[in-house]
Amino acid sequence: MKKKLKFLSIFTSNLDEFFMVRVGALTDYALFGDKHVDNKTGMTASEQLEKILRAVMPLYELRDQAYSSVTEAFAEFGIHLLKPQNLKSDEIKSLKKYFTLSIMPLLSPQIIGSRHPFPHLANKHLYITVKLERKKKNIFGLIALPADMDRLVPIGRPHGEDGRFVLLEDLISYFAELVFSIYTVHETNIVAVTRNADIDSEEGLIDEDIDDYRLYMKNILKKRTRLAAVRMELAQRASPELLGFLCEKLQIEAKRVFYSVAPLDITFFSLIERYADKETLRRVTWPAHVPADKREDVMRYPAMGRDILLSYPFESISPFLSLIHQSAEDSSVLSIKISLYRIDWHSKLAESLILAAENGKEVIVIMELRARFDEKNNIEWAQRFEEAGCRVIYGIAGYKVHSKVCLITRREFGRIQYITQIGTGNYNEKTAKQYTDLSLITANQEIGRDAANYFGNLLLGNLEGEYSHLWVAPGSFKSNILKCVEGERQKSLNGENGVIVIKCNSLTDKDIIEKLVEASRDGVKISMIVRGICCLVPQITGATENISVISIVGKFLEHSRIFCFGTGFDAKICISSADLMTRNTERRVEVACPILDAGLKDRIIGMLEVMLKDNTHAWEQFSDGRYVLRRPPGSDLVINSQELFTQEARVVAIRAEAKKIGNKKIGGMSPMIVRAFNSAKQFFKKQ
């Protein structure tokens, strides 16, 4: 039940973002008629929009079914979400009193007419729209849902102890006649508008002479709130009069109107746990396990030449946070340079960077203000960094800086030394508990010099830098990917085993797709783990029969990007911030870093093998485009990659702690878990 609830929330937020960004961009392109043709589908923007709108309709039906099953499950645990019209008369009387005293004074109802123009409807905000009549004249009204009130209104006892609730929007809609007391209410509905949020098109209009880029971005964000409507959602079917009125005022076509039995905003789910008294309804936390040798003085390991690889969320981000905090107070540290894309609102990392600046160290922050939907947060942090004395750079015009690189420069015994961190995910403590990512901390001085060169180039606005180890987009990342694919192809042509394993979020870059298809034709075995969009269709005879594609959808969001070419000791493995999308390979600043430590290479290869064997949360793509959930046949071993990584981290942590205290007995772990983990390891060795 909790899994359904979680994925219902994820689906809703993803669909919202899809309309705001992708449909928003296509809507803009459609204004140019048939001039914009997609290079993969061959369709114009208008043709793509038609197919999208038709494809979305059935998704709303599936969402309604999922919501129905979730609410039924809630009822089993004493949580009931009810409609006012289904309540008893004494309950309605009690709610009416509460509505009159506590809700109605906060409402600002409005009729629409010549002296009362149609107001701006904020993006994804809920409104109650009402069809009214007075003196035989029809008129329409609107009520905005108060933003500072709980959506869950208790029906019986005042604090929700009996677990029975109505939604605030349903209650306002039910008592609309009290709000519009001088009118006759003929019809009510709940409406939410989704607006175009694609402001990337503004990048080409940026004047290089802008004095204050941060202020410019603030103004762009204000503009976003008033962009055109791309979708309208209604809680129920509307009369032709009400529907026509809304479509006319919002300047939106009827085919962009969607009806939902499930509430238009399901963020109230997070409030339910406040009232739940059943353990099964409480949020399950999956604490990260930090091996003992990563808990102490993190800086001494890179100094000893030991690379550290953190695997989130199975291991904690805290060792990296400790590294930055120690650096902020270490007298041998001269500077900290970092590229930030998304950080938490309450960021320990940011506080440590500010502490470092206050301690007199040079702190350079490459702050990307165009991280979609995090712009406001980033703008406010940028201002705090500047006020603390950090040097803040806002990337490069026309390119988002999406890389995840941190460089610590020290003076040790009169020599300059580097500690470099390069990761696949954001420096965000919150998402580090929810997304799977890899974070490399290394004292390799060649990589450190590359990182120093990288930051120097960013400060100069130079995208053509040359590096010994790092692959940096838009300059060398894509060309190196193509070169490595070609290398495996040549192996295959020479009678050797050409092998490629790729893990990323999306694959859309046409040049890379064509190169992978070419390699497949020549016998290279290609395994891909692509969580999201994959424009390469596998298992097509004569083209992609040597390519397999799976998507792992589990408890945590798969987010790491790993590129592995070859096998064994000679395998070339890189981790990166970049997906294989044209926007990443050509229009963003991205970094890929090789894994040079033999032990870490083996560890990553082992992780990829586990994921490729997943038969619990892996969906396999077939040549007809279908994704089918893998299931273990008969009595074969059940493999849940995320669960195995969780237990592996726990095993390592317990063993390290036992070794630290000199106790060989390992406790706190069920024998069943140990057997499952050891059995899995033996299984992989046999493959």
The DSSP secondary structure of 437-476, one letter per residue, reads EEEEEE--HHHHHHHHHHHHHHHHT-S----SS-EEETTT
Return the H-helix or E-strand segment holding 129.
strand 126-134
Catalytic residues: 402
> Residues 352-365: pLDDT tens digits?
999 999 999 999 99
Q: How many CA atoms lie within 13 A of 114 on its CB side?
A: 0
Domain 2-281 and domain 473-631, same fold? Reply is no
Average of per-residue pLDDT values in the chain: 87
Q: Is the dihedral of CA 108, 109, 111, 117 positive or negative?
A: positive
Q: Are 468 and 376 in contact (CB under 8 A)?
A: no
Q: What is the mean pLDDT of residues 433-453?
A: 96
Q: How many CB atoms lie within 10 A of CB 100?
A: 12
Query: Which pLDDT value is given to residue 37?
Result: 82
CATH homologous superfamily, domain 2-281:
Polyphosphate kinase middle domain (3.30.1840.10)
Query: Which pLDDT value is given to residue 161?
Result: 65
Quote the CA–CA distance of 214 and 106 in Å, as a whole number: 35
DSSP code for 102: I
At 397, is the secondary structure helix, strand, or coil?
coil
Q: Which residues pair with 528 in a beta bridge?
A: 502, 549
pLDDT > 50? residue 280: no
Q: Which fold does the domain 292-469 belong to in CATH?
A: Endonuclease; Chain A (3.30.870)
Q: How many CB atoms lie within 10 A of CB 655?
A: 15
Tokens linked to 344: 């938490």
pLDDT > 60? residue 542: yes
Q: How many CB atoms lie within 10 A of CB 454?
A: 25
Contacts of residue 468, Cβ cutoff 8 Å, sequence gap at least 6? 446, 449, 450
Query: Which pLDDT value is given to residue 158?
Result: 64
Domain ranges of the chain: 2-281, 292-469, 473-631, 642-687
pLDDT tier for residue 370 given thresholds of 50, 70 and 90: confident
- Torsion angle of C-alpha atoms 244, 247, 251, 255, degrees rounded to 10: -110
CA geometry: angle 372, 376, 378, nearest 5 deg: 80
**Which of the residue ranges 130-139, 261-270, 590-599 would you say has the lowest mean pLDDT?**
261-270
Return the H-helix or E-strand segment holding 575.
strand 572-576
Quote the CA–CA distance of 341 and 364 in Å, as a whole number: 14
Kindly list the distances between the CA atom of residue 257 and the CA atoms of 55, 230, 270, in Å, as whole numbers in the listed order: 13, 9, 27
Q: What are phi and psi of 142, to 5 degrees?
A: -140, 145
Quote the CA–CA distance of 564 and 68 in Å, as a whole number: 43
pLDDT tier for residue 663 given thresholds of 50, 70 and 90: low
Kindly list the distances between the CA atom of residue 11 and the CA atoms of 3, 4, 501, 619, in Å, as whole numbers in the listed order: 12, 10, 28, 17
Tokens linked to 28: 């803009």
CATH homologous superfamily, domain 473-631:
Endonuclease Chain A (3.30.870.10)
Query: Which pLDDT value is given to residue 166?
Result: 94
> Residues 295-346: pLDDT tens digits?
555 655 555 567 999 999 999 999 999 999 999 999 999 999 999 988 888 8
Q: Give me the amino acid identity at 684.
A: F
> Residues 55-107: pLDDT tens digits?
999 999 999 999 998 888 888 878 889 999 999 999 999 999 999 999 999 99
DSSP 398-428: TBEE---EEEEEEEETTEEEEEEEEESS-S-
DSSP 608-645: HHHHHT--SSEEEE-TTS-EEE----TTPPP--HHHHH
pLDDT tier for residue 244 given thresholds of 50, 70 and 90: very high
pLDDT > 50? residue 669: no
Q: How long is the chain?
A: 687
